[in-house]
A and B are shown apart, each in its own frame.
Chain A
Amino acid sequence: MQEEARTKELEAKAQKTFSAERREDYAVLLIAALVVILVLLGVIDNKVISSIYLIKY
């Protein structure tokens, strides 16, 4: 009985995790799209990227 309840609990957890992964996929698609748009608009360019690196030769 206890084992069955735990299995059901795991089933619910797996379902929840998978729907969270699906939402995560939408979120990463949105992040990627935003970054690409910013690059195409020239907001993120080589100067912005090289400003991230403080130690240079």
Chain B
Amino acid sequence: MGVGVDLTDVRQWPKMLPGFIVCLLLAWLVLQYDKYVVGDLHRGYGEASKVLKPIKEGKEPLPYEDYKKQKEESYKKAMEKYQAGLEKKKPSKPFILKKEDYEFILQNKAIPGKFTFGERMNQFQLTYVAVLLLGGMLIRNTVGVPSVLQPGTVAARPFIKPGIIILGAYYMWSDVLKVGLIGFVLVVIFVLGTQIVISLWGKKAKADDGLMGLMGAGVGVCGVSAAVAVAPVVNAKPRDFFYAIGTILLFGTIALFTFPYIGKLLNLHQAVYGAWVGTAILNTAQLVAAATWYGHEALLTANVVNIVRIGFIPIVVLWCIYYYVVRPARQVGDVTQRLNTWQVIKEKFPIFILGFFIMVTLNELKFFSPEVRDLLGRDIVKIFMAIGFAGVGLNIAFDDLKKAGGSAFAIGFIAATVKAILALLFVMAIGPGPFTIKQ
């Protein structure tokens, strides 16, 4: 995820600052759109439809003041019930139409155009995720991103990680273990399975060890991070490295923009969709984006499966060391090559996921009130994700995707596609129950 710039190198900060500010601004602007159009106007459409229904049935509409009073009183009653402990869920504030909109509906017997616009944007899932990714990609591949801004746009991408950590405030350990256990099964079957199949297929096809090792790690486990981790182990050539990265990015980009729509088309439950993208998409940033695009519940499930998956990076590196170094050495009688398991785990384990576990533990210990939980798990996560997605969108360059090539491209792409299809059938057969995170 952070390939390209070193966030912690203070000397690089001045170089990163301009691009990072652009990402912040872009994220802020798009969040304004998301809150107003996809949030408020979409809710306005629902409320306007409710107001319009009795009018179309020929009933006498309430005057505006009475309508407003009625809404406020029903909220007050619901709050009293909640405070008395009769209702478990805190009622959300009612959406009250403005006087001019209410009167427009009464006069024209129609829903104002702005609400219909909000509804359409919501129907087409054009939330902040889509706008930042599509918009960023469009900018990058048309007008381009000036070189002075590029380091900063790369530096914005890892801001998805604090989002992943803070999202931990939303989970109980029972949910993490429940979804994590089934996520573990998915990872073992599909993710490690892909890695092993690619290694064996590559041997059969007499493809280069370095390239196939990279492709297996990248396509199977965690995209670019795993490919970077495995590259020295399998003695990858620079050309192999770019082929593998190109294939991983191309598959991820196609998946990112198609999976949310495939999910809608198949009417997938949010939790099922989350489990699917958590297994099938190869890169954390793209996976988190595709899940957030679909909905908050999908993100909660995908996040756990992703954490299990990236926790597997050391295991993949161990497999590569065994398959490409230790095993061939033993075959020619060299017993000096050994696996230093602990060393590999220590070096390659993505430690940021420990932060997620700390957050889950704090939530389990009731450290967060429901308000703080919502503030952290929804509002603040959204801000971090928006900054990260601005960086991701501005870094989808068609030139990078064109680097995918060679015979290994076909093997990698076919394996990733087959994995995605099989994972989809598997999670659909299981259903939402085991993947659902209680909110």
Binding site for B on A (CB under 8 A): 3, 6-7, 9-11, 14-15, 17-18, 20-29, 31-33, 35-36, 39-40, 44-46, 49, 52-57
Quick one: which of A18, A31, A36 contacts B348, CB cutoff 8 A?
A18
Separation of A14 and B229 alpha carbons in the complex (Å): 7
> Is B44 interfacial (CB-CB < 8 Å)?
yes
Given contacts A24-B8, A28-B162, 20 further A-B contacts (CB under 8 A): A6-B237, A10-B238, A10-B241, A11-B231, A11-B232, A20-B8, A21-B350, A25-B161, A26-B8, A29-B165, A29-B354, A32-B359, A35-B162, A39-B372, A46-B375, A49-B375, A53-B35, A54-B32, A55-B35, A57-B44
Separation of A56 and B159 alpha carbons in the complex (Å): 26
Q: Is the interface of B mostly helix, strand, loop or mixed?
A: helix
Q: Which residue of A lies closest to B380 (CB)?
A: A35
Chain B residues whose C-beta falls within 8 Å of the C-beta of A54 in the assembled complex: 32
> Is B69 interfacial (CB-CB < 8 Å)?
no
Whether A21 contacts B35 in the complex (CB less than 8 A), given A36-B376, A39-B375, A49-B375, comes out as: no
Whether A23 contacts B7 in the complex (CB less than 8 A), given A7-B237, A28-B158, comes out as: yes
Contact between B166 and A52 (Cβ–Cβ < 8 Å)?
no
Contact between A28 and B161 (Cβ–Cβ < 8 Å)?
yes
Q: A7: shortest Cβ distance to chain B, in Å? A: 6
A-B contact pairs, 11 of them (CB 8 A): A3-B237, A6-B238, A14-B229, A28-B158, A28-B162, A28-B352, A28-B355, A31-B162, A33-B355, A36-B359, A46-B375
Separation of A46 and B400 alpha carbons in the complex (Å): 41
Contact between A14 and B228 (Cβ–Cβ < 8 Å)?
yes
> Could you mark each residue 155-179 of chain B with 1 if its beta carbon is under 8 Å from any beta carbon of chain A, else 0?
0001101100110010000000000
Q: B133: shortest Cβ distance to chain A, in Å? A: 21
Separation of A21 and B367 alpha carbons in the complex (Å): 30
6 closest A-B pairs (Cβ-Cβ)?
A: A57-B40, A28-B161, A25-B352, A32-B165, A23-B8, A32-B162
Q: B412: shortest Cβ distance to chain A, in Å? A: 19
Q: Which residue of A lies closest to B163 (CB)?
A: A32
> Is B41 interfacial (CB-CB < 8 Å)?
yes
Contact between B232 and A29 (Cβ–Cβ < 8 Å)?
no
Q: Which residue of A lies closest to B118 (CB)?
A: A57
Q: Which residue of A lies closest to B97 (CB)?
A: A57
Interface size class of B (residues with CB under 8 A): 35 or more
> Is B57 interfacial (CB-CB < 8 Å)?
no
> Is B225 interfacial (CB-CB < 8 Å)?
yes
Contact between A24 and B2 (Cβ–Cβ < 8 Å)?
yes
Q: A50: shortest Cβ distance to chain B, in Å? A: 9
Quick one: which of A14, A23, A33, A57 contacts B41, CB cutoff 8 A?
A57
> Is B66 interfacial (CB-CB < 8 Å)?
no
> Is B379 interfacial (CB-CB < 8 Å)?
yes
Greatest chain A CB density within 10 A among B36, B159, B228 is at B228
Q: Which residue of A lies closest to B354 (CB)?
A: A29
Whether A10 contacts B158 in the complex (CB less than 8 A), given A29-B165, A32-B355, A35-B166, comes out as: no
Chain A residues whose C-beta falls within 8 Å of the C-beta of B228 in the assembled complex: 14, 17-18, 21
Separation of A25 and B9 alpha carbons in the complex (Å): 13
Q: Which residue of B lies closest to A33 (CB)?
A: B355
> 8 Å CB contacts to A: which residues of B349-368?
350-352, 354-355, 359, 367
Chain A residues whose C-beta falls within 8 Å of the C-beta of B182 in the assembled complex: none
Contact between B6 and A24 (Cβ–Cβ < 8 Å)?
yes
> Is B347 interfacial (CB-CB < 8 Å)?
yes
Separation of A6 and B235 alpha carbons in the complex (Å): 11
Chain A residues whose C-beta falls within 8 Å of the C-beta of B416 in the assembled complex: none
Q: Which residue of B lies closest to A57 (CB)?
A: B40
Q: Which residue of B lies closest to A25 (CB)?
A: B352
Separation of A35 and B28 alpha carbons in the complex (Å): 18
> Is B371 interfacial (CB-CB < 8 Å)?
yes
> Is B192 interfacial (CB-CB < 8 Å)?
no
Quick one: which of B6, B236, B367 contacts A23, CB cutoff 8 A?
B6
